[in-house]
Structure 1
Amino acid sequence: MTKIVAIGVGSLVFGVELLRDVYQTPELRGSELWLVDLSPEVLRRMGGLAERLNEASGWDVTLRTTTERVEALPGADYVVTSIARDRDATWKKDHELALKHGFPSVLSENGGPGGLSHTLRSIPPMLAIAKDVERLAPQALLLNYTNPENRICLAIHRYTSVRSIGLCHGVAETVEFVAEMLDMPRDDVDLRGAGVNHFVWTTSLTERSSGRDLLPLLRERLGDNPPEKWRLCAMLYDRFGVFPTTGDNHVGEYIGWAAEFIGTEGYDFDAYAQDRVLANRNLDAWAAGTKSVASLLAKPSRESRLGHGCTQIMAALISGRSLRRPSFIIPNQGYVENLDRDSVVEVPGMIEDGSFRGIPVGRLSTPVAAMVRQEIAIQELAVEAAVTGSRDLALQALLIDPCVHSARAAGAFLDDVLAAHRAYLPAFWSS
């Protein structure tokens, strides 16, 4: 019996999408599924939804819920993580503090000064989970969705022996965008790219059915007036001859002058809050049995349709089938020839013969490799700072960041971050 442990199921996207995919994956019929969250209320609602899906699908999954992950982990085959601590409030504060100190931050999530703050908060709880996996379920594969993805995957790689894959839909969404721009079926667009999460650069773009190079056509279609959310990416394509994936707001986190193109408004928290109201209403109705779950079982989740659903990976590993995915976030191991072999990168991924690996993509161009290497160096410092509670290392990460223009402002920003998030940063206040 396959045992799956899902940690952090309170996300209204991740939790619901994971459950609908479990109950549509034949290889997971009769499996054991543990839902883990710190909130008993979340477990009540998600557990209720899982029970409705179990009944409707006839999947005969053994369902368990707990607030204690150590109860769930022993014997796990797969551990799926998607955690956040006070996500919206802390993210909003990070963006406000970055702007307060004059940094042109475009999103403040995974890169720039806000990305450092997010790293300091997120790595300690994720590393604690990974160390519990290492101790209680050393055979398990950890599949992570928690941001900042690249930095968390780096911490797991550096400080544990746990096998892990980071999963993100950014590259797959770029395939959707390209297919729309070129008026082609999404499945016929073969995009390969490399870099770090949310800073992945296209190494090849071909028509799957014919092998035709699609990059000249993409450049032509982008023209002089690219779509609003891809203007920075189009400009980078023009300047460097390499098309970046994931869209302007993500790519812009790693480029000091990105605000010239996309501004500093940041994430739309109000729109997300409105979406959450409807999502909560639907979840309550599904869990209570007053709304049919048939629509959830009618087709795979968006995550799976885009090609980064974790249950697809489980199914391929269980069955021994081969499966190619748009991207894995994993240790380099030579997949990108001119990046450090021990760095963590995002590259196309492959499941084959019951194991996983990246797909080699060759070399990045000189200017692109330089930008990616700089971000890798920042991430190394940020991860070590998060683990050790070193203010000096955190400040070093800021001082080499292209989004930071002032040493004094960097120090003041860091002081504000450590004070604002003190409850989440005990390593920095232990003495």
Structure 2
Amino acid sequence: MQTLSILGGGSAYTPGLLQALILHAAELPLKTVRLYDTDVDRLAIVARLTSAMARNAGVFNVEVADSLEAAIEGADLILNSTRPGGLKARRIDETLPLEFDIPGQETVGPGGFFFALRSVPEALRVATKVKALAPQALILNYTNPSNIVTQALVDQGGVKVIGLCDQSDEDLQAIVQALGAQAPYHFRCNGLNHATWYSDILLDGAPLGEMSAPLVAPPEFDEEHKLRFEFSRHLAEENPGYWPNSYLPYYLFPAAFVSQAERVGPRSDVVAASLDRYYAHFKSEGKSATPHLRTYRGSAGFGDLAVNVIRALASPTPHELVLNLPNQGATLAFAADTVIETRVRVSSDGIERLAAPDLPVPFTGLATQLERYQRLTAQAAANGNPQALVAALAANPLVGEEAIARSMLARAREVYGDLLPSAL
């Protein structure tokens, strides 16, 4: 594992990832980190900064690839963290569903569906290049919606792939924050990405159910995250012994999220403003010969999970991680080849799936619906068949009817324009 290629390397998350790689460089066999991005201006800014960071730390080399082929050729690890369509498309993901009184969110519901229509073809194109230019490489997929993109890659076959998402840690850290004290935690989980249930939760060795302090959303959370936390707490109270992924409430309390989004506006606008500030900072810092090694706000989780996976793959000692992989018998709740999100052991010897806990009984019906939606969308996004697209979108629990799906697809072709693949 000497060469890591980062697709989407011009992202504002990349400096945080590089920082994490530098901090753990002694454990890693990396010699080269390649950055590739279609946004050459932002790539140049990030490359100047991260090259100086690595050089100052005396670790691996940071290179810039001028084409996708150059980024992939001979790589051992390929981190796919692209965002096809950029924030312009994300804004439509978040606003178009509201026209149909459905929550607008970039991974859940119709927003995630249209994101998949952009992400899946690009991921499959990457996979084709990998098979030709780096057949030994492992793809670490961070591109959203992670479960659907990873499912499409698994369905196509021919490449090794792991799906990554740090939401489980974010959700458990939110519980720790709500209790007002930092504490180590452990949990088991089962489900689909952004539709997972956590169980057997231990905080500092004590079961979550024994905590006497009231759980209230941390005050620093914005309105959307507070709403997700409060609904998660409500669902946990209804399902003792469990805590839901904080995206599950979108499916169960859609009207509240529609109202919230219409009141505060699309989250993508906030993200865009924040990214402008980040790149201005990166541009300034990148001019320095000795930039400060720091944790870049908003990038720590991205760097931590990706680096933990790479560390585990290089270690003879197994590391327990939550990953998105084909089920292969970890749970009876889903088909063997469905990509699920669950805890596994990872080491240089490979990946060992751990037996997943049972799902809460009231959730099993929704889990089956979401599994069907995931599988249909992965297939439809890959082949672009018009009727398959209608069936897949209608399978989403927030849509539910083919008539609504047809209307939404027609509207999408109007508002996305060339941001959607031409075949769709």
Q: Which residue of 1 aligns with 2:370?
A: 375
Q: Which residue of 2 aligns with 1:213?
A: 207
Of 171, 186, 193, 1:197 maps to 193
Q: Could you list the per-position Cα deviations for residues 237-269 of structure 1 after superposition, in whole angstroms to 9, with x for gaps in the alignment? A: 23344644442xx223433x4323673406423
What SS does the corresponding residue of 2:214 show, helix, strand or coil?
helix
> How many Å separate the matches in 1 of 2:248 and 2:374?
15
What SS does the corresponding residue of 2:329 show, helix, strand or coil?
coil
2:178 and 2:217 in contact (8 A); partners too: no
Q: CA deviation at 1:5?
A: 0.8
Could you list the structure 1 runs, at least 4 aligned residues long, displaced by more than 4 angstroms after superposition: 223-228
1:410 correspondence with 2:405: yes
TM-score normalised to structure 2 length: 0.88
> How many Å separate the matches in 1 of 2:181 and 2:363?
28
Of 130, 133, 142, 1:133 maps to 130
Rate the CA distance shift 1:264–1:393 in 2: closer, same or farther, 3 A.
farther
2:53 and 2:290 in contact (8 A); partners too: no
- Which structure 2 residues correspond to residues 204-353 of structure 1 after superposition, within 5 A? 204-207=200-203, 209=205, 212-217=206-211, 221-222=214-215, 228-241=227-240, 243-247=242-246, 250-255=247-252, 257-260=253-256, 263-265=259-261, 267-289=266-288, 292-296=291-295, 302-303=300-301, 308=305, 310-325=306-321, 327-353=322-348
1:151 and 1:379 in contact (8 A); partners too: yes
TM-score normalised to structure 1 length: 0.87
What SS does the corresponding residue of 2:340 show, helix, strand or coil?
strand
2:8 and 2:82 in contact (8 A); partners too: yes
> How many Å separate the matches in 2 of 1:417 and 1:262?
18
- Which structure 2 residues correspond to residues 352-371 of structure 1 after superposition, within 5 A? 352-371=347-366
> How many Å separate the matches in 2 of 1:196 and 1:162?
21
> How many Å separate the matches in 1 of 2:66 and 2:132?
18
Q: Could you list the per-position Cα deviations for residues 135-168 of structure 1 after superposition, in whole angstroms to 9, with x for gaps in the alignment? A: 2212211111111110001001100222211111
Q: CA deviation at 1:197?
A: 1.0
Structure 1 unpaired stretches of 5+: none
What SS does the corresponding residue of 1:361 show, helix, strand or coil?
coil
1:20 and 1:296 in contact (8 A); partners too: yes
Aligned length: 414
Choose 17-26 or 376-385, whichever is displaced more: 17-26
1:6 correspondence with 2:6: yes
> How many Å separate the matches in 2 of 1:30 and 1:269?
34
Q: Which residue of 2 aligns with 1:16?
A: 15
Q: CA deviation at 1:216?
A: 4.6
2:188 and 2:357 in contact (8 A); partners too: no
Rate the CA distance shift 1:38–1:277 in 2: closer, same or farther, 3 A.
closer
> How many Å separate the matches in 1 of 2:139 and 2:73?
13
Q: Identity over the aligned pairs, expressed in percent?
A: 23
1:151 correspondence with 2:148: yes
Q: Which residue of 1 aligns with 2:385?
A: 390
> How many Å separate the matches in 2 of 1:223 and 1:174?
13
What SS does the corresponding residue of 1:364 show, helix, strand or coil?
coil
Rate the CA distance shift 1:261–1:86 in 2: closer, same or farther, 3 A.
closer
> How many Å separate the matches in 1 of 2:277 and 2:200?
40
Q: Could you list the per-position Cα deviations for residues 302-357 of structure 1 after superposition, in whole angstroms to 9, with x for gaps in the alignment? A: 2278x52x1222223223232122x1011111222222111111112321343123
Structure 2 unpaired stretches of 5+: 220-225
Q: Which residue of 2 aligns with 1:82?
A: 81
Letter matched to residue 215 of structure 1 = G
